[in-house]
Every structure is written in structure tokens, then in C-alpha cells.
Structure 1
């Protein structure tokens, strides 16, 4: 990897409480800036920006969206005033449209917590331009992989492509079972995380793209697909993958992160 060539990265952003609760995952996210330096821009594919077709955010000054409820006021007081990059958003839209995929730009949408939580921890100065590119839970994993592939050339210009979701994401298992932050990890969550790591290490892209169907307890770990779809975009934007973080919060949220070189 050259000095300018960044990998594409997938991170698990977890609960918004990661901003307030110490954890290995929080420490990892806080080290993103030290690990990857200061990119020219960051393109975030967030699980919380789910649209019918691809949408790139083009606000020059994106607002901080607090897209959650029932949490401490301290979280709602947080702001991440990073600049946007309308020109980059339009370039991304042109690239996606050039591949024959419907796409639009949104000049009003801000940054959801799938974006600002890891960015606030990793680049707290908020001085790197940020563009979000949506997922679409109506589309297959292969669609997201292709979206990522189209973003590959941006990496050559020092742009970080960052998928932000969760390697496992069964919230009902947290609330219904009353799991606390340091709850034990059930076998069904551990087995899925281990399987994904093994398949990524083996370069088995097809298996990973079908992880919810083929992986152990896939549907239990992902009752809805939104939080694993950013992984596929990060995979498409990069090459060979390696796990760069592994931990759990609340027992059932795998906070794994991957870099694709």
C-alpha cells in the first residue's frame, strides 16, 4: 500500500452508548486516525442511511443527526461539524450512474450516527470532508459489492471508503433478555463472527456475500440485513481482507472491523 493508498474499511459502530461507555471497541475506533492518518475525504456507507436506490449526501455543512431515542441527553448534545464535499458527492453519483445504476444526490441530509459515531472517535477534529452513500435493503449483497467496486478508484486519491454497520445485529436479543454491556457471548453470535472471519481470510467473497443464508445462525444474527450490507460495500471497494478488531458488547453485538487492501 502506498502512502496515499488507503484500504477500504468496515467497522461495527454498535450502540450510540459506545460514546459514553468504555470498551475495547471504543478504544479501537478512537485509534482509527492514528492507524489510517488523515484522509483527503471519507465516504461512509452507513447502515442507517437506507434508501430505495443509491443516494450520495451533498450538503456542504452536514448536520449531526441523532437518529435514536431513549439515551442520555449527553448523546443528543454531541455535534460532529465536519464539512461535506458536494463535488465529491456529485462525482460519486456520476460514477454510479455511469454503471447504469439509479442514483441521486441529497443536498440536505446530514450525518447519521452510523457515520458520526466512529468518525467523532477516530477523527475528533472534524476536519476531514465527509460524504455518505446509502445502502438499500431492497437490493442484494451483490449490489452493495458493486457499489463498493465503483468506489475503488477514489482510494488512489487518499479517500477512505468506510462501511459502518455491525458484524452481528440482533437488538431484540439485547432487550428481551436484558443483556448488560459485559454480558456473556452466546454460541450463536460467536460462531457467526468466527465463520465470517474465516471466509474473509480465505478470500471466499461469494460465501461472505451470502453470510446471512450460509453462515451459522445467520438469520439470528441479522434479522434484517441493514447492518451487514456496509461490509459488502467495503469488500467491493478493497481487496484481500483482514480482521483488525474483534470484540463483543452486550454479548450479541460483534464489534469486528476489517480492512480490505
Structure 2
């Protein structure tokens, strides 16, 4: 018993003398949706700060055109800010792990960059909010009725080469989706499912959460769930 107490005291002394270790939090990368701004994450950022994260722990890549949503896809300039944020977050991590939360097209863009960087082993938790992981019926079925870049080869048409190539790739140690059946983007065609599965659901996910919220409310009004999932 005495030996155990000495060992316990030694561990407690180590933590007391090493407060940085005790305060270590995984950096969080927040990837906004198509034509949105980083400040669309303001509610999540406020919740993270209240939970003890610092501004240095939060990465907010700003990607894509804000004036031409139909011009954005998953190829080229849209990729770079997200890729850099993931790299910088991993390099700054005190634990060697990061958390990634994406909204809408930011879900598929974040997933693509994790895949391209072979970074899934560095991702503790991946959370996809209102993503179109299986495509949007409003974008058509590739290559038919594909009417813009967002829906094209590197876009979100059902069975696009981009989505087919992304399907099944590992995204992190834990994977979750947050979805709605009244999502005005994912369910714009009148159905939310592709092949009988809600398009916002992610392959091999650990759990999925459903809210009676619209596409943008899923991002702004689920902050308690977001924080719970990355703890």
C-alpha cells in the first residue's frame, strides 16, 4: 500500500509540475460550407472557448468563392486552405491528434483532404454536419443533368467520380454524423436518402444524430452535441 501511495504521489507531482500536459486539448479544425465564411462557426467557437480551448486551438480555413457557389468544387484552390489547416493543426498538437468538424460541403472537402494527406491516424474525431457524403439528387446523377462545377466530376452529383472515390476511406478514430430530415439542401429534391441511406450519414460511423433543424441550424444550434463528441 505504501509503495502504491508513493507511486500515486509521484504521478500527481508530475502532473502538477507539468500543467501544460494537464491542459492539453486536441486542436479543432472547423471547415465551413459552400460559399460560407469562417464566422458561420461563431457559435461553435464560443462554445469551445467556454470549454477551455484557446484561440490557438481552433483552425478556421477560409475556402472557396463567396459570390459563386456553383463555381466551387473539390479540386484546386478550394483544397489548399483546408489542407494547410489540417497540417498546421497536426503540427501544433500537444497530443499528436486533432478533431475535425465540417458543415455541408465542408464535410466532403475535409474528408478529401484527410484522405489525400493520409492523415486519418492523426484524427481523433471526425464530425460531419449536414454533409452530402452520398450526393445530392438536386445535382443529378453523374454524368446526367450535371449543371455546374459543384455538381460535376469533382462535385456532389450522385455517383460522381469524386464521391465514388471518397467512399469508404478512413476519416479518424471516431466518426459521427449530424443530420436532419428537414434539411433544405440535402433533402431539396424531396428525399434525403441515396440508396436508402441518409446522404449525411458517413460510412463506418460510430453514431449518427438527428435533429429537427434546417441545413444551417444543424451547424449553429448543435454546439453542445459537437463538443460532447470531441471530448
TM-score, with length taken from structure 1: 0.29
Which protein has the larger Cα radius of gyration, Structure 1 or Structure 2?
2
Structure scoring higher RCO (CA < 8 A, sep ≥ 6) equals 1
